[in-house]
Homo-oligomer: A and B are copies of this chain.
Amino acid sequence: MTSPAVSSRDLPHPERDEIRLEGVLHALSDPMRLRIVRELAAAGAELSCSHFDLPVTKSTTTHHFRVLRESGVIRQVYQGTAKMNGLRADDLDDLFPGLLDALLDAAARQAVRIGSG
């Protein structure tokens, strides 16, 4: 194949209008998921699940990505065997202007302060 071609398997995402603030906050209140989102934002591009080296098993990683997707924080698309993950920054900015930036900034400040990132 030339390009890996997007698989026919597609995943359920909430529409932009279905995204709830409570759901987003809950998704980001888990350290593992906050870390994933920070990495995605820092990369500024879509990353495969396997790119992340998290201190949990693959099952748990899958679980966290699903929570992020179902809460509307990320968008997931299959590309061959890989699943690419991208922040839904456009949708979030439209719904909650400035929130994502404030959250990422807050996470970065805390990482500096605590010294764990």
Contacts and interface: CB of A to CB of B under 8 A. Distances in A.
Interface in A63-117: 95-99, 101-103, 105-107, 109-110, 113
Contact of A25 (B28, B97, B113): B28
A110 B34 contact: no
A110 to B, nearest CB: 5
Majority SS of interface residues in chain A? helix
A99 B99 CA distance: 7
Contacts of A53: none
A55 interface: no
A107 B21 CA distance: 7
A31 interface: yes
